[in-house]
Amino acid sequence: MILSVSCVQREKADLVIINGKVLTIDEKNPTAQAIAMKGETIIAVGTTEEISAYIDQKTTKVINAGGKLVLPGFNDAHVHFGPLDPDYIELRYTTDPAIITEKVKAQVIKSKPGELINGGHWEHEMFTNRQWPTKELIDKESPNNPVMLSRADGHSVLVNSYVLKASGITKNTPDPFGGEIQKDPLTGEPTGILKENAEGLIKTGEVKTNRTTEENNARLWQGYLLAMKEARELGVTSVQVPGSADFAAYEKLQKDGLLTSRIDIGKSLTGDTIILKSYSDIAKKYPKEGNWIRFGYLKAFIDGTIGSGTALMFEPFSDNPGTSGLAMMPYNEFENMVITADKYGFQIGVHSIGDKGNNWTLNAYEKARKVNGKRDSRHRDEHTQNLIPTDIPRFAQLGVIPSMQPTHCISDKKFCEKRIGPERAKGAYAWKSLADAGAMLAFGTDYQVEPLNPMEGLYAAVTRKDRLGEEGEGWHPEQKITMINAIKYYTLGSAYAQFMEGRKGMIKPGYLADIVITNKDLLSIPENEIMRTKVDYTISGGKVVYESGQ
């Protein structure tokens, strides 16, 4: 039991939780019943009787948890967070490609000619025919509108003939470095699938929303509000954005009292010293000492994904021996960028999926340490999806953080072994082996690639089973972890990844008061109830920002 003030002083709290089952993630004080908060900070943790002394009957808000589980707020370490599009065509879990046609047709009817039809999250491995979709699915329904539908992993996109024509993409257009224009093997014509860097061939200037500036601004602001609402309803009190986002928009949200999730925003990795100096100026404005809007890490891509068949592997894909994946840039160029950015003191995070892609990332970090000297850089390996055995201990040795998204395992396992074979699959999503080797993991979702709901990630981490449930012990059950550890990596681990473990990620006096109360006890319920668990309360910075039923 730890109290932050003496029994004599008993500072009165603004907010108190009593009668809870508090999982603190603090090894020195792992469980408690009650919490007292003042302003943004936790001031005391203890029994309900002890914490009741912090209640002022007139001014203190009291939440009686009624024995429910109380946790630190979830911190999504890798989330493509931003304004939501209310007209986005949601194709997640689609099994019949004809549904894509129907949904595009319905959106075209509601849209103006020339207006962009945007959507995605389709997964061709879930289609009944398991075939890549083609532009013929959507061309007839959209002759006068550009259509762009991203694959679930965001590394491939289906476009219609309107977009291909506007972008000048024909059968004679060569593949760019690190990209592929999928073409019909008989006719040579583009199928409408653009992979990786080939997406950069789309001429966005020709693909317009066809709305006024005022209409776009209003929709954008509404999109930010929708994103904040979704996060707080799911108990996500912190988000770490890999890559750029609009600092000014989040400043406005904060000024208006609408910023309910703390946010780290990074930039793209570069070796250009002029750009790096400009990044330094931004980092001074949004320093690590801040608690709400902070400069994050520099993001790069070294390869693609297993699902799109573009992850960089040492050996060819089992189901497509003609390729071993795609590197997004030559290794020497990548290594030089890492060394230069590391020299300037930046934290770096690299999208690394294939075993060779992960190996390249670790090699570059190791080289930067040799050239620039050892420091507490906490460079990050984003996704860490497939590893050779000898690379697993290198994470702890180099102080590299495996920033992992557990739901990738249960989404990808249905085709992972088909792509890379059973032997290489032993090194896939190996969070238990990494932890056992001494690495500090950080968990997230990769939203909107995967759903934002942390409960799905917790379920994946402890079961390694598909979302519908299945018999047995799960896929490679030797990599399953305990629920407490899964929650730890989603809270304290993610805080460590952003250098905030000294003030966030635990329920402890002096820490930021970011807390959730769930309607079910994640520590004791059957596994089939984990994803059905909801958040009853979300507290950000000592304020109740979400209460179920309100």
Q: Are 479 and 8 a contacting pair, CB within 8 Å?
A: no
Distance CA 218, CA 510 (A): 39
Q: Coil, strand, or helix at residue 338? A: helix
Answering whether pTM is above 0.75, one says yes
DSSP 130-186: -PPP-GGGTTTT-TTS-EEEEETTSSEEEE-HHHHHHHT--TTPPPPTTEEEEE-TT
Query: What pLDDT does residue 210 have?
Result: 60
* Cβ proximity of 328 and 269 under 8 Å: no
Quote the CA–CA distance of 33 and 11 in Å, as a whole number: 19
Is residue 352 a contact partner of residue 400, using CB atoms and an 8 Å limit?
A: no
Q: 243: part of which helix (H) or strand (E)?
A: none
Query: What's the CATH number for 1-73+505-550?
Result: 2.30.40.10
pLDDT of residue 217: 87
Residues of the chain with pLDDT under 50: 1-8
The residues with which 35 forms a beta bridge, in sequence order, are 17, 45
The candidate with the shortest Cα–Cα distance to 190, out of 152, 123, 139, 144, is: 139
Q: How far apart are CA 41 and CA 245, in angstroms?
A: 27
pLDDT at 208: 56
Longest alpha-carbon distance in the chain = 84
Is residue 89 within 8 Å of residue 119, measured between CB atoms? yes
Rounded Cα–Cα distance for residues 69 and 66 (Å): 9
Position 464 scores a pLDDT of 97
pLDDT reported for residue 308 = 85
Q: Report, in this order, helix, strand and coil percent for the chain, each rounded to 5.
A: 35, 20, 45
The dihedrals phi and psi of 237, each to the nearest 5 degrees, come to: -100, -10
Report CA 496 to chain centroid distance, whole Å. 16
Distance CA 181, CA 171 (A): 9
For 188-200, give one letter per residue: b (16+ CB within 10 A) or e: eebbbbbbbbbbe
Map out the domains of the chain as residue ranges: 1-73+505-550, 89-206
Helix (H) or strand (E) holding 319: none
Q: What is the CATH number of domain 89-206?
A: 3.10.310.70
What type of residue is 428? A
Burial 459-492 (b: 16+ CB within 10 A, else e): bbbbbbbeeeeeeeebbbeebbbebebbbbbbbb
Secondary structure string (H, E, C) spanning 177-239? CCEEEEECCCCCCEEEEEEEHHHHHCCHHHCECCCCHHHHHHHHHHHHHHHHHHHHHCCEEEE
Q: What is the pLDDT of residue 209?
A: 57
Strand order in the sheet with 74-76: 74-76, 236-241, 262-268, 293-301, 348-352, 380-383, 401-404, 442-443
Contact 491, 72 (CB under 8 A): yes
Cis check for the bond before 385: say yes or no (omega within 30 of 0). no
pLDDT score at 414: 86
Answer yes or no: are the C-beta atoms of 430 and 409 closer than 8 Å: no
Name the residue among 516, 524, 527, 541 with its Cα closest to residue 71: 516
Q: Give the HSE-up count for residue 117: Cα atoms under 13 Å, Cβ half-sphere.
A: 33
Say whether 89-206 and 1-73+505-550 share the same fold: no
In order of 153, 448, 487, the CA distances from 92 in angstroms are 11, 10, 26
CA–CA distance, 418 with 421 (Å, rounded to integer): 6
| Cα–Cα distance measured from residue 196 to residue 326, given in angstroms and rounded to the nearest whole number | 9
pLDDT for 231-267, tens place per residue?
999 999 999 999 889 999 999 999 999 999 999 999 9
